[in-house]
Amino acid sequence: MSPLSFYAGPKALAYIKQNGFTPEMFSAVLGASGGPKWFVLTGLDKVLFNDFMHKSTHHVDIIGSSVGAFRAACFAQDNPGAAISRLAEGYSNTVYSEKPSVQEITQKGSVLLGEMMGENGVEQVLNCVNKTVHIVVARCHGLTACESKLKQYSGLMLAALRNFQSREQLNKSFTRIVFSSSNKAFSFSEKHKFITENVQLNESNFLTSLMASGSIPAVIEGVKDINGAKPGMFRDGGIIDYHFDMQIETSGLVLYPHFYSKPTPGWFDKSLKSRSCHESSYDNVLMLAPSDDFVAKLPFGKIPDRNDFKYLPAQDRIKYWTKVIAESDRLAESFLEAAEKQSLADLIQPINLKR
Position 12 scores a pLDDT of 97
The CATH number covering residue 292 comes to: 3.40.1090
Does the pLDDT at position 53 exceed 90? Answer: no
Taking residues 299-328, report their average pLDDT: 97
Tell me whether residue 193 is in a domain.
yes
In the predicted model, is pLDDT for residue 300 greater than 90? yes
Q: How confident is the model at residue 294 (pLDDT cuts 50, 70, 90)?
A: very high
Instruction: Report pLDDT digits (tens) over 163-218.
Output: 999 999 999 999 999 999 999 899 999 999 999 999 999 999 999 999 999 999 99
**What tens digit of pLDDT does each residue of 29-52 get?**
999 999 999 999 999 999 999 989
Contacts of 313 (CB under 8 A, 6+ apart): none
Whether residue 236 contacts residue 270, with contact meaning beta carbons closer than 8 Å, is answered with no
Q: If pLDDT is split at 50, 70 and 90, which confidence band does 1 have? A: confident
CB atoms within 10 A of CB 193: 10
Question: Is residue 355 in some structural domain?
Answer: no
Question: What is the reported pLDDT for 265?
Answer: 98
Number of separate domains in the chain: 1
Give domain status of residue 192, yes or no: yes
The residue count of the chain comes to: 355
What's 3's DSSP letter? S
- Domain extent, residue 40, equals 4-350
Residue 97, pLDDT above cutoff 90: yes
Q: How many CB atoms lie within 10 A of CB 93?
A: 13
pLDDT at 223: 98
Flag whether 28 is in a domain. Answer: yes
Q: What is the pLDDT of residue 160?
A: 98
CB burial of residue 233 (10 Å; 0-12, 13-18, 19+): buried
pLDDT band at 341 (very low <50, low <70, confident <90, very high): confident
Round to whole Å and give the CA distance between 84 and 53.
15
Residues 6+ apart with CB under 8 A from 145: 155, 222, 232, 233
Q: Enumerate residues 6+ apart whose C-beta is below 8 A from 157.
A: none
Q: Is residue 33 part of a domain?
A: yes
Answer yes or no: is 39 within a domain: yes
First and final CA of the chain: distance in angstroms?
23
Distance of CA 39 to the CA centre of its chain: 12
Whole-number CA gyration radius for the chain: 19
Distance separating alpha carbons of residues 270 and 238, to the nearest angstrom: 11
Say if residues 198 and 229 touch (Cβ distance below 8 Å): no
* Residue 339 domain flag: yes
What residues contact 220, with CB distance under 8 A and at least 6 apart?
Answer: 102, 105, 106, 109, 214, 236
Reported as a single tens digit per residue, the pLDDT across 125-165 is 999 999 999 999 999 999 999 999 999 999 999 999 999 99
Whole-number average pLDDT of the chain: 96
**β-strands 233-236, 131-140: how paired?**
antiparallel
pLDDT-derived band of residue 243, with 50, 70 and 90 as boundaries?
Answer: very high
Q: DSSP E strands: which ranges in 230-298? A: 233-236, 247-249, 253-257, 285-290
CA 112/CA 52 separation, integer angstroms: 26
Has residue 284 been placed in a domain? yes
